[in-house]
Chains A and B, each alone.
Chain A
Amino acid sequence: MDLIEIKDVSYSYDDSKKAVDKVSFSVKQGDYVTVIGHNGSGKSTLAKMIAGLLPVKEGSITIDGLEVNEENIAKIRQRLGIVFQNPDNQFIGSTVKDDIAFGLENKRVPSKDMEGIIREYAEKVGLTPFLTYEPQNLSGGQKQRVAIAGILAMAPDIIIFDEATSMLDPKGKKEIKQLMYDLAAGDDITILSITHDIEEVLQSDRCVVLNKGKLFMYDEPEKIFAHADKLREIDLDVPFIEQVREAFGKYKIRLKSDDLKGMVEELCRSGSKS
């Protein structure tokens, strides 16, 4: 059995329209799965159901065999953390240290153990010099790292990133993406990342494409982007490299490389041949 199993799940906020419509897929332990789709495609609704923030009224979601419902929610929350979009809306402590400690306090970790745990995870996300800083003196990327450290300190199995980099500047984006890739590189933590960043999707193991609440595709990123036309149909961006392939395809020039440098080489060769 896979770590996360989603079966025939639907959800509607009001009766008129389904925000999530009979979605089924499963995620293996240790996988890094990205979720893409338009605003309103059901990405966040689905993530909130997995995290038990919205009730599963139709279908079922299980995490490690445990059904996500009111009865199990406390157990499930111990194993799962979410990093939200806005770095300013998820700070609880008055310093970085207090913020990381918040989850541990709720878990009733003895205070003598706390210091060590906080240091360990602050180190892991590169926040050691900032432990006594107040939130307003941190950059957006640093704030997101505090949120991630707070979650890691709870030793979760699953971390959900809900557009965690979209409000950051390019430097912050790069930092947080790198941290996500590092976490994903291990086998322990399963990552579900809702994103609009096509470059991030290319780094993930698998990608879920949602469209109008329905599962549109679920596959390895390369296979998904091989169907550029299908993604276009639902108005999603395709990676730049596929755009180049398409643009030259119109002139009957078939480029085969998987990177831009290779494509430039190909063009040079065909140029000198004729």
Chain B
Amino acid sequence: MPIRFKKLSYIYNKDMPYAHKALDEIDLEIKEGVITAIIGETGSGKSTLVEHLNALLLPSEGSLEVLDYNIVANQKQRFLKPLRKDVGLVFQFSEYQLFEETVIKDVAFGPLNFGFTPEEALKRAAEALKKVGIREEDFNRSPLELSGGQKRRVAIAGILSCDPKIIVLDEPTAGLDPQGAREMIDLFVELNKKEGKTVIIVSHDNEMVYNYCDETIVLSHGKIMYNGPTFDLFADKEKLKEFNMLEPQIVSFRNDLCEKGFRLSRDARTLKQIAKEVAEQVKR
């Protein structure tokens, strides 16, 4: 079942002089079982939008359907706990939210809170840590001793240990080195392909979005500007210009080749595939 926003608005400091409409009557559908990117300039409402997905923020107006839950503005919410188990949200710079004495305790915190026995919680924590690539000898270290990239993995394991159906990540690769970022993305792709999780990523990294995300949503000033296949967005020069988006180099290169009359298939997204198709046309 897709996620559906219906005429949803969110107003910060409602009824106050500083009131600010961060989301403006949003109608939106996010597909199940794919990787969706949410992009837009700082202040466009990306984080506000995703914080609705597990009801950290409740709509000021309109409503939202996630899985079997229906969240309606100004109605008492009864199912927050199961919703938050099913929708895991990883914040920006999540490495700062670690607090327990040891890595494994930090990751087990979620399952314990959702009512699992201590043994079961630790078992789930260990599984989640293995999935994100934390070695067993580090389980009993203080999370504060780990490197920045490792800390962020531990924070993600903290979400995975609750076995959510939907995983939402707010700028998961910001501040990581290129290799660390790649490993992080590989993990999300694996969670999506192998376990069928719905993955929603807020990002500023257009290159990553182009390479790995099936669908893209563009936000600007609290409104949806685009919602559709990532490939179609990046193939449309006018749209990129309109949304003030930096074109990844691979996209500029592909678009330039197409303009010069090379015929590239939809599969030619990677440099490897582009080179192959162009080489065939050059040699003919």
Contact = CB atoms under 8 A, between A and B. Distances in A.
A129 interface: no
A85 interface: yes
Contacts of A268: 260-261
A53 interface: no
B25 interface: no
Contacts of B275: 244, 247-248, 250-251
Given A196-B178, A243-B271, A264 B253 contact: yes
A267 B262 contact: yes
Contacts of A166: 174-175
Contacts of A39: 147-149, 177, 179-180
A169 B44 CA distance: 12
B274 A264 contact: no
Contacts of A116: none
A248 B279 contact: yes
A25 interface: no
A170 interface: yes
Contacts of B148: 39
A261 interface: yes
B70 interface: no
Interface string A244-274: 1001101101000000110110011011001
A139 interface: yes
Nearest to B260: A268
A205 interface: no
B283 interface: yes
A267 B41 CA distance: 35
B175 A169 contact: no
Nearest to B276: A251
B1 interface: no
- Interface footprint category on B: 20 to 34
A274 B272 contact: no
Contacts of B281: 271
A61 to B, nearest CB: 25
Interface in B23-60: 41-42
B80 interface: no
A171 interface: yes
Contact of B256 (A40, A139, A260): A260
B204 A169 contact: yes
Given A169-B204, A196-B177, A274-B284, A264 B249 contact: no
A105 interface: no
Contact of A260 (B174, B177, B253, B272): B253
A123 interface: no
Interface in B191-249: 204, 246, 249
A21 B27 CA distance: 57
Contacts of A237: 178
Nearest to B255: A264
B269 to A, nearest CB: 13
B256 A169 contact: no
Interface of A: 38-40, 85, 139, 163, 166-167, 169-172, 196, 235-237, 240, 243-244, 247-248, 250-251, 253, 260-261, 263-264, 267-268, 270-271, 274
**Interface pairs A-B: 7 shortest CB-CB:** A251-B279, A247-B275, A240-B249, A167-B175, A271-B282, A264-B256, A169-B42
18 contacts: A39-B147, A163-B175, A166-B174, A167-B175, A169-B41, A170-B246, A171-B42, A247-B271, A248-B279, A251-B275, A251-B276, A251-B283, A260-B252, A260-B256, A267-B262, A268-B261, A271-B281, A274-B284
Given A163-B175, A169-B41, 9 more contacts: A39-B149, A139-B42, A167-B175, A169-B42, A169-B204, A248-B279, A260-B252, A260-B253, A274-B282
